Amino acid sequence: MQKILNVALANRSYPIAIGENLLSEFQHFKLKQGQRVLIVTNETIAPIYLQALIDMLENNGVKTDSVIVPDGEKYKTMETWNIILTALLANNHTRNTILIALGGGVIGDVAGFAASAYQRGIKFIQVPTTLLAQVDSSVGGKTAINHPLGKNMIGAFYQPQSVVIDLNCLKTLPQRELSAGLAEVIKYGIILDEAFFNWLESHIEDLLNLEVNALSYCIYRCCELKAQVVAADETEQDMRAILNLGHTFGHAIEAELGYGNWLHGEAVSVGMLMAAHTAKLLGKLTINDIERIKNLLIRAKLPVKRPTQMSVESYLPHMLRDKKVLSGQLRLVLPTKIGHVQVLDGIDKNVVFESIKLT
């Protein structure tokens, strides 16, 4: 069973293909015989999927090179970005080359950013292999690298030419990574779709067990919701900020503890609860909704308690470097009920500190 979804961005529109065994199906990559590609992947993914992808592409007349970079959030850096650019230059790739990002969110982000910069922009294809990348980071054109002072602060909005989501890749995904992806899945229900949140409450174990029909529906719905937001606000001038529920708190955890010590989805899980507590303190969310969110996160095997090694005060410097900050004032995405959020600014830091203490 295969599904195709279109991200509607005028002349930058592109398809998202979702299904099983898609890595063996050439048509989803939107490539032509004689084209050159550089496949970017990491040390974990390469032994599992790289050769099969190379064989499929070369059997269809595509000339391939590949570059393998270290695995992990801590390698989403300028150094890794430079490794990719060096591979493009060393192999004499031109503006007609297409870069393929084969891996999770880190690979998609850093490879996409390299594509945006090489010879002022070459095309690229997202082939996400983690649930988090499949439902979130591969869609929408956000590309970036991290800096010790802030996550995703250096990057570009740069759309892929296609996204190929092979459900079979999830069979090799560690349980912890699968749960991390579910944090972003649950986020969509909280911010945009109460009916989807209700569905997740009934099917979260099916997703953990990799039940194909549940996965297919879940990933399609998440991509559909994100595509709608991206089409309305591609460069995050307004509405797209809602996709960052929990991220301002979560990015603080990632930056303070060192990238990779908490997975992105784990930090977002706790961050969403901190945002929920902030909304409750402001009289905008009921305790019943907080409990529903918390219980679903627990069932998804995600953390719901803040890291003990971080002081409450240590969050604020990171949060004030968040891209949503305006004129030095915190802006937070806060849930007002399941399926609806608001972006609020000017929130008192003592309210933020109290919400962190409650988590």
Active site residues: 120, 142, 184, 226, 236, 240, 244, 247, 251, 264
Which residues lie closer than 8 Å to 278 by C-beta, 6 or more apart? 332, 334, 347, 351, 352, 355
DSSP letter string over 35-80?
A: -EEEEEEETTTIIIIIHHHHHHHHHTT-EEEEEEE--SGGG-SHHH
Question: In a 10 Å sphere around its CB, with 0-12 CB exposed, 13-18 middle and 19+ buried, how is residue 74 labelled?
Answer: middle
- Alpha helices in 233-327, H assignment, sequence order: 247-257, 264-281, 287-299, 315-319
Task: Decide if 106 contacts 76 (C-beta within 8 A).
Answer: yes
Which residues lie closer than 8 Å to 265 by C-beta, 6 or more apart? 132, 179, 180, 181, 182, 183, 184, 302
> Which one, of 248, 250, 189, 245, lies nearest residue 217 by Cα?
189
Strand-pairing partners, residue 166, are 19
The Cα–Cα gap between 154 and 321 comes to 12
DSSP 319: H
* 3-class DSSP state of 98: strand
Tell me the residue length of the chain: 359
DSSP 128: E
Residue with tokens 């870069």: 99
| Interaxial angle between packed helices 175-192 and 264-281, expressed in degrees from 0 to 180 and rounded to the nearest 10 | 30
- Alpha helices in 91-192, H assignment, sequence order: 105-117, 131-132, 175-192
Strand-pairing partners, residue 341, are 335
The Cα–Cα gap between 347 and 328 comes to 11
